[in-house]
Amino acid sequence: MQPFDYVKPNSLEEASALLIEHNGDARLMAGMTDLLIRIERGFFHPRLVVDVKALPGMRDLLVVRNGDLRIGAAVTMNEVALSPTARSGWPLLAEGCQSVASYQLRNRATVGGNVCNASPAADSVPALLCYEASVHIFGTDGDRTLPLAEFITGPGRTALQRGELVTAITVPAPARGAAGKFLKLGRTAVGDISVMNVAVLGWPDKATPSGSQWRIALGSVAPTVIRAPEAERILAANTSMAGIEAAAQAASDASRPIDDIRATAAYRRDMVRVLTRRGVEGVLAEIGEQANR
């Protein structure tokens, strides 16, 4: 492996300055579960890795004043998956984080890293898109916040500019009575990367014709994780069997999968339809029960 140096900066300013000073030869590191593999395989050739884990706020996992869940960029997958707060308030996210690889790997892999790698198969991202999470960015020109949907701009691409780093992700609390389902298809039942996945979030809303609102996100079936807005609209109008079938088809139509080593595009498209239907039925069973209480 190509040698590189390691530094643990004491402040966000210092981390940002190092990125600028080394101009492309420095890489941020958190859990290292993707970065080290890419360095070893020769995809990245950093001269310096900048360890951001100990920077202020990076390990925060807490509910802030407006009710959002604030996840410091270096909070691990296990910390979210095992957090009673996340599990009760943001279960879709906890499930997504829980589904990543193995217990050992989840002790190191971070939510911030998952978001910044911008893989279409990132398992925390479908839930974060359903909750309409925001990404908090530190830069020498000032802090900024972007909706996650705008932060991820392509496969492996983000809106981060030179010298910028992600400090936290904030996740708004879901509406009252919301329920979610994260359905992930891997080559094995547990522990594999997603062949594809579907996250479904629904909640009661008397203002819509169907009495409910929906968000659906699809992983590993497009260049980035995507929402399926047409499917969401159909379900807001109609959650009869015909409505669910139409929404599942609309989700499938929204996907743009590829053939690869894990599955064919045709299979993935078909599975989007199947898992969306199952997810919606599952959520409907839960929010229906609550409405009847």
Partner 1 sequence: MRHDISFTVNGEPYNIAVESHHNLLQVLREQLVLTGTKNGCSEGECGACTVLLNGEPVNACLVLGVEADGHEIVTVEGLATDGHLAPIQQTMIDAGGTQCGFCTPGVLIAAHALLQRNPNPSETDIREGLVGNLCRCTGYTRIVDAVFEAARLQRVSNQ
CB atoms within 10 A of CB 72: 25
58, 97, 159, 72: CA torsion to nearest 10: -10
Q: Which is nearer to partner 1, 33 or 255 (CB)?
A: 33
Task: Please state the closest distance from residue 192 (CB atom) to partner 1, in A.
Answer: 9
Nearer of residues 100 and 236 to partner 1, judged by Cβ? 100
Query: How distant, in Å, are the alpha carbons of 35, 82, 123, 176, 271 from that of 98?
Result: 21, 8, 9, 24, 21
> Among 256, 257, 255, 253, which Cα is nearest to 234's?
253
Nearest CB to partner 1, comparing residues 7 and 63: 7
CA distances from 137 to 76, 109, 173, 190, 230 (A): 18, 19, 21, 33, 30
Q: Are strands 26-29 and 48-51 parallel, antiparallel or unpaired?
A: parallel
Q: What is the DSSP letter of 82?
A: T
CB count within 10 Å of CB 41 equals: 9
183 token code pair = 């359905």
Judged by CB, which is closer to partner 1: 5, or 141?
Answer: 5
At closest approach, how far in Å is the CB of 248 from partner 1?
A: 29
Burial bucket for residue 150 (CB in 10 Å: 0-12, 13-18, 19+): exposed
Binding site for partner 1 (CB under 8 A): 1-6, 31-33, 36-37, 39-40, 49, 51, 101-105, 107-108, 188, 190-191
Q: For residues 82 and 159, which CB has a smaller minimum distance to partner 1 in the complex?
A: 82
Contact 4, 159 (CB under 8 A): no
Q: Which is nearer to partner 1, 7 or 146 (CB)?
A: 7
Least CB distance from residue 68 to partner 1, whole Å? 27
Quote the least distance from Cβ 223 to partner 1, whole Å: 24
